[in-house]
Structure 1
């Protein structure tokens, strides 16, 4: 079988097994399980926690002791086993530990999949620079397809999303054993200390003011990267509580609408060379930060009816917000560090954004939403007033029934229903992103260098 096709299938499945639940888990948490919103933030923090150490540890194993494709296969099978167990969990505290275990198995496979692709392409004498991007694009396609399948099969609020992820991850694990061998090169010297092996030497970069500033801003922006993935789908889904929106396609197929964000990613990747050439690395990073302001702001004022254009535009802007910072930031690190420190510096960049940043954003967002933007409604009259409906509205009664809540004879609800003020939530996130943008533009002093020009020319051609 063609090597490129085999790697393309691996890339497709790599992100399929993640997206099967990543965007829709909030519906399971808030809707099916009806757990406390303050605890939800910890679920997305597991990705950051796992990213702090697992990719490094598995990287050492693949470099020194075990074939990368075999380690990759085992990790996916273990991830599948955890996915199969996840629906059995009955408490949010236990759910955190189980999903953390799943992320410890899954997160390192992202780096391993890249490593397997690079090694296999080189061994097959392909040009990695030209051959890898089309292969990686199919990872995004896999992400989109998984979102669509979970939504179209009616499983965005059910435990079946974890079974979809588990079955596909198990299949990917078995398939990975058949991939071309990527033997360990034993590049890590036994003479190196564990500080060197774990890449902790990169913390020396904080001695440089500009690099320290860049990493700190990377962390704060990293806190925003997963917020719309965490809350976007449940935000759109909760419009079904409003009778004027409940039957709209956007509400019923919210995950499909959000997949525009991933489609946008693939398109904006193609535009990056133009923006870098025209505006330079710092300005592209500022543009990405402004895009996050619009991403959140458009969500704040959008709705599934006359404000649908805002939601769609927010999804389109996401590609610029996500890709521009990751790629321009990576180029800045590449051109601002010595060859000896370059790999460690790139690892630090990922650690600050997807590690510490993700933990910061996940934990604080859950706490803020629950403490400041969630209200408990105890009567049908209060709830009807909130959603501009009559207390006896059939759609409203149906919505409550879907959450296992009945209306008593005196108008009291059998259980208080928490309602999140999403307008204020997204507006708060937008203000946060705007503050970061302004401070970064003022404090981060940077001009084009010849090395940057060469790097930009390389990806332009």
Structure 2
């Protein structure tokens, strides 16, 4: 098997073991377990908590002591072991702690899988810029396939979704040990301070008003990034409580409908260079933010058939723009405005603000709001009001960003980065 194909398999499985449950866990939580929204917010916050702590620590271990491919394999096997316990958990409190441990093992493997791919490609004289993106797209395809398998096997409301993810995680863990060796590079000086080892020196960027503003808005928008992953499938499944829609395609195959979002991601990634060159980084970020307004707004007025179904599909299509445009344009902003000596740390700070602090805040606050103000006495959710609140939040962020954030478009810099 050639190297590019082996790394494609790695990327596919990396996101398969996440996609098997990430979108459908809400259906299991609310529909099967009948647990509360506030506790659900805490469970989704585990992704953010793990993103704050583990990637940096695992990165240090891989840089100094353990082959990256072996560490990667061990983490996936441990992740699979923890997932096996989740279906037997009987309280939301215990579920939170077990999921937190699972995320501590899984979240650092996302960046570690990139590091492994980069090292193997560079070590075999491949052009990483050209070769890696097509490999990474298969990660999104793996996520989609996992969603489809979970839905089509009748497990979107079952604990078996965790068994599916666990089984593939074991396979991936073993597979990782067959990859070419990725030994520690020891790029971090032995006399480096703890702050430098953890990439905390990038926090000095917060002294600059423009950078501080960028990271602040990154955190605010990061709070919205997982909301439809948290509640989207549950929202569509809840149409089944209306007798006329109980057997509709949207209810029975809600996960397949939601997968249009990930399919859209793969397409919008290809459009990013065009939009960046034509409109610049700030405008692309603004497009992303307004796309989040549309994402939530279309859901608010969606339905299982006719015009409502069209709005749901449109919501899934604009998700690709909403998610990709901000993450990639934001990353390019960091790349073009920070000193090369702290560029990797600055990228880590960007991820920390979005997938760490932002995700934690969004998960906890949305769970609390829904439980306190948008859940009826019988447990039903006021979905239209929920989505409109989320849309209003995204609109406020968009307007404030447009007014407060100043950035001049430099076509030459963008052309160099997106050639």
The alignment's TM-score, normalised by the length of structure 1, stands at: 0.90
Q: CA deviation at 1:38?
A: 1.5
Is the Cα–Cα contact under 8 Å of residues 331 and 455 in structure 1 kept in the other structure?
Answer: no
Measure the CA separation in 2 of the matches of 1:221 and 1:150: 29
Q: Kindly indicate whether residue 396 of structure 2 is the aligned counterpart of residue 435 of structure 1.
A: yes
Residue 356 of structure 1 corresponds to 357
Q: Kindly indicate whether residue 11 of structure 2 is the aligned counterpart of residue 11 of structure 1.
A: yes
Measure the CA separation in 1 of the matches of 2:407 and 2:106: 36
Residue 330 of structure 2 corresponds to 329
Measure the CA separation in 1 of the matches of 2:244 and 2:403: 45
Measure the CA separation in 2 of the matches of 1:455 and 1:81: 46
Q: How does 1:210-229 map to 2 (within 5 A)?
A: 210-229=210-229
Q: CA deviation at 1:459?
A: 4.5
Structure of higher CA gyration radius: 1
Measure the CA separation in 2 of the matches of 1:249 and 1:240: 10
Q: Kindly indicate whether residue 179 of structure 2 is the aligned counterpart of residue 179 of structure 1.
A: yes
Q: CA deviation at 1:427?
A: 0.2
Measure the CA separation in 1 of the matches of 2:374 and 2:20: 28
Measure the CA separation in 1 of the matches of 2:173 and 2:288: 35
Q: CA deviation at 1:455?
A: 3.9
What CA RMSD, in Å, does the superposition of the two structures yield over aligned residues? 0.8
Q: CA deviation at 1:230?
A: 0.3
Measure the CA separation in 2 of the matches of 1:122 and 1:51: 26
Residue 380 of structure 1 corresponds to none
Residue 165 of structure 1 corresponds to 165
C-alpha deviations, 1:218-257, integer Å up to 9, x for none?
Answer: 0000000000000000000000001121121111100000
Is the Cα–Cα contact under 8 Å of residues 373 and 425 in structure 1 kept in the other structure?
Answer: yes
Residue 198 of structure 2 corresponds to 198
C-alpha deviations, 1:61-86, integer Å up to 9, x for none?
Answer: 11110000000000000000001111
Measure the CA separation in 2 of the matches of 1:27 and 1:290: 28
Q: How does 1:147-158 map to 2 (within 5 A)?
A: 147-158=147-158
Measure the CA separation in 1 of the matches of 2:276 and 2:244: 44
Number of residue pairs matched?
418
Q: Kindly indicate whether residue 414 of structure 2 is the aligned counterpart of residue 456 of structure 1.
A: yes
Query: Unmatched 5+ residue regions in structure 2?
Result: none
Residue 78 of structure 2 corresponds to 78
Q: Residues 60, 454 of structure 1: CA spacing in aligned structure 2 closer, same or farther, 3 A cutoff?
A: farther
Residue 424 of structure 1 corresponds to 385
Deviates more, 1:188-197 or 1:170-179: 188-197
Measure the CA separation in 1 of the matches of 2:412 and 2:15: 32
Is the Cα–Cα contact under 8 Å of residues 116 and 182 in structure 1 kept in the other structure?
Answer: yes
Residue 408 of structure 1 corresponds to none
Residue 36 of structure 1 corresponds to 36
Moved over 3 A (4+): none
SS of the aligned residue for 2:408 comes to: coil
Q: CA deviation at 1:131?
A: 0.6
Measure the CA separation in 1 of the matches of 2:136 and 2:413: 20
SS of the aligned residue for 1:278 comes to: helix
